[in-house]
Amino acid sequence: MIIMQYNKSFKYIIPLGICLAAVSCTPVLAPLAEKKAVPQSFDKSTDTTNISATPWRTYFKDPNLVNLIDTALKNNQELQITLQEIEIAKNDIRVKKGLLLPQVGLAAGAGIEKVGRYTSQGAGDASTEIMPGKEMPDPLSDFKIGAYAKWEVDVWKKLRNSKKAAVSRYLATVEGKNFVITNLIAEVADSYYELLALDNQLEIVKQNITLQSNALEIVKIQKEASRATELAVQKFQAEVMASKSMEFDILQNIKETENKINFLLGQYPQEIKRDKTNFASLVPSAVNSGIPAQLLANRPDIKQAELELEAAKLDVKTARAEFYPSLDITAGIGFNAFKPSYLFTLPESLLYSLAGDIAAPLINRNALKAEYSSANARQIQALYNYERTILNAYIEVANQLSKINNLEKSYDLKSQQVDALNRSIDVAGDLFKSARVDYFEVLMTQRDALESKLELIETKKEQLNASVYVYRDLGGGWK
């Protein structure tokens, strides 16, 4: 009696011992460091008004630019590739979800077997009658048809955590798509403003060529009147050639910038529709940066990094659950007979089974420990990537806000410089005609004026692009 009780207890002690051994041998990992808090403000401002909430169709006023962005969002290949990544991640969820459900299948088979007469099976078959006077056939056929099922009971939430990790990664790919969108919009706008700037620089160079050509004609006349030398003529001629060479350089830059936009729009090279006349009158949009904490909700790359961190944490839980015992339930039902006519004879041909298995890894667990440690290392990587993404976002916004402020002051000074040099060109021309200054001063004045005008356009372009970049860096464009 005592022995029977011991045996009954012993069959429960074995699985319990397996569970305790599995849990006790799981590596203990150090906890993650706390996430760092973002600064309270950009440059001491506590205003929560944020331009990222403005839709891009409202933020960009130029209808030609709006049409270009529309086309890019429909045709851009990189964006289309990202959309397929979302589909891949969505299918991964379906795979993980399927593992939570029983695997059910149908099976059918047929075979034939000839056993030796002087074997236990052969002797048994020879002495067995199917019915009175009818022996078992030899050789023996075997026909089978039925259904089977297998189900791993998710006791430790291993499969559920794996599914949750897949969901987090799917949501991360959605945020990745949003990040591609906001960058695509910014890149199209940046290239568009660069194209407008090149158009205006080309116009200024053409005007300068006309001015230099007129001065060249005056020098030629003065040379004929012995008021100027051949050296002055050649100097003015060289200056005209240099400006014409610059014209072709700008034309090439215009073509390359147009084709860059065409690439972003997913179309072959063609002329980009734009208004070339109002560049100087364009005013950058007003900037309201809000507070840094809003970056966590507005920047797609930060949300993507946060979701990837969440998935990495779930991967650690899944890897830890691999150390615990698994419970598998298998079942089957069907029909089995040695002759097709007997296959569906009930209950003689009925076949069924039901079994439960508990298994836990005890030997050669190094692979599981290595995977568990790797999962934790990936989790730490994801945490550092999350912190780096937030830091990068804050610095990008801070840089653009500073740039906008400094460009505004620089543009005002350069405008005054251009006005002064424009007046100096007229003065130098009048003085040169009356022989009160030499040709060198006229050349230098024209060259300085050209450079200052080109720099003014470049500054205007940087102002417009800074307003694009700060809109992107604050998380605008994807909503």
Residue 8 lies in a domain: no
Cα radius of gyration (the chain)? 40
What pLDDT does residue 19 have?
A: 52
**pLDDT, average across residues 233-249:** 91
pLDDT at 361: 80
Percent of the chain with pLDDT over 90: 51
**139 cis-preceded (ω within 30 degrees of 0):** yes
3-state secondary structure the chain: CHHHHHHHHHHHHHHHHHHHHHHHCCCCCCCCCCCCCCCCCECCECCCCEHHHCCHHHHCCCHHHHHHHHHHHHHCHHHHHHHHHHHHHHHHHHHHHHHCCCEEEEEEEEEEECCCCCCHHHHHHHCCEEECCEECCCCEEEEEEEEEEEEEECCCCHHHHHHHHHHHHHHHHHHHHHHHHHHHHHHHHHHHHHHHHHHHHHHHHHHHHHHHHHHHHHHHHHHHCCCCCHHHHHHHHHHHHHHHHHHHHHHHHHHHHHHHHHHHCCCCCCCCCCCCCCHHHCCCCCCCECCHHHHHHHCHHHHHHHHHHHHHHHHHHHHHHCCCCEEEEEEEEEEEECCHHHCCCCCCCEEEEEEEEEECCCCCCHHHHHHHHHHHHHHHHHHHHHHHHHHHHHHHHHHHHHHHHHHHHHHHHHHHHHHHHHHHHHHHHHHHHCCCCCHHHHHHHHHHHHHHHHHHHHHHHHHHHHHHHHHHHCCCCCC
Structure confidence at residue 7 (pLDDT):
45
Task: pLDDT band for 3, please (50, 70, 90 cuts).
Answer: very low
| Mean pLDDT score across all residues of the chain | 86
50-59, 134-143, 317-326, 407-416: least confident range? 134-143
pLDDT over 70 (residue 178) = yes
List, in order, residues 6 or more apart from 460 with CB less than 8 Å away: 197, 279, 280, 282, 411
- CATH number for the domain spanning 72: value is 1.20.1600.10
Q: What is the predicted pLDDT for the residue at 435? A: 64
| Domain residue limits at 333 | 102-114+136-153+326-359
Q: Which amino acid is at 72?
A: A
Residue 62 in domain: yes
Is residue 364 one of the residues assigned to a domain?
no
At which of 334, 359, 384 does a domain end? 359
The candidate with the shortest Cα–Cα distance to 371, out of 173, 168, 158, is: 158
Task: Please indicate, yes or no, if residue 375 is contained in any of the structural domains.
Answer: yes
> Ranked by mean pLDDT, which of 134-148, 151-165, 427-441 comes out on top?
151-165
- Taken as a whole, the chain contains a residue count of 479
Residues 282 and 146 in one domain: no
Amino acid at 435: A
Looking at the structure, tell me whether residues 309 and 453 fall in a common domain.
Answer: yes
Residues 338 and 193 in one domain: no
Is the Cβ–Cβ distance between 372 and 27 less than 8 Å? yes
| pTM of the predicted protein model | 0.84
Q: Clarify whether residues 315 and 331 are in a common domain.
A: no
Residue 242 lies in a domain: no
Cα 228 from Cα 430, distance rounded (Å): 15
Are the CB atoms for 457 and 279 separated by under 8 Å? Answer: yes
User: Would you state the pLDDT for residue 438?
Assistant: 66
Indicate whether 177 and 67 sit together in one domain.
yes
Residue 293 included in any domain: yes
- Same domain flag for 294 and 337: no
> Is the same domain home to 333 and 432?
no
* Domain stop point among 335, 359, 383: 359
Examine the domain organization and report whether 421 and 339 are in the same domain: no
Judged by average pLDDT, the poorest of 143-152, 360-369, 433-442 is 433-442
Are residue 272 and residue 298 in the same domain, yes or no? yes
Examine the domain organization and report whether 286 and 393 are in the same domain.
yes
The token duo for 118 is 């002087």
Q: Is the pLDDT of residue 455 over 60?
A: yes
Mean pLDDT computed over 382-410 = 94
Q: Maximum CA pair distance of the chain?
A: 143
Rounded average pLDDT over 281-307 = 92
User: Number of structural domains, the chain?
Assistant: 2
Domain boundary among 359, 381, 403: 359
The dihedral sign for the CA sequence 257, 263, 266, 269:
positive
Averaged pLDDT for residues 354-363:
83
Q: How many CA atoms lie within 13 A of 21 on its CB side?
A: 13
pLDDT digits (tens, 9 = 90+) for 303-322: 999 999 999 999 999 999 88
Residue-level pLDDT at 10: 41
- Do 352 and 282 lie in one domain? The reply is no
Q: Report if residue 408 sits inside a domain.
A: yes
71 CB-contact burial (10 Å; exposed 0-12 / middle 13-18 / buried 19+): middle
Task: Report if residue 350 sits inside a domain.
Answer: yes
Q: Which residues contact 432 (CB under 8 A, 6 or more apart)?
A: 215, 218, 438, 439, 441, 442
Contact between residue 418 and residue 456 where contact means Cβ atoms under 8 Å apart: yes
User: What pLDDT, on a 0 to 100 scale, did the predictor assign at position 18?
Assistant: 52
Q: Is the pLDDT of residue 467 over 90?
A: yes
Residue reference for tokens 């945490």: 383
pLDDT at residue 29 is higher than 90: no
Instruction: Judge if 53 and 140 occupy the same domain.
Output: no
- Residues 355-365 as b/e (b if ≥16 CB within 10 A, e otherwise) read eeeeebbeeeb
CATH of the domain at 343: 2.20.200.10
Closest by alpha carbon to 130, among 349, 335, 351?
349
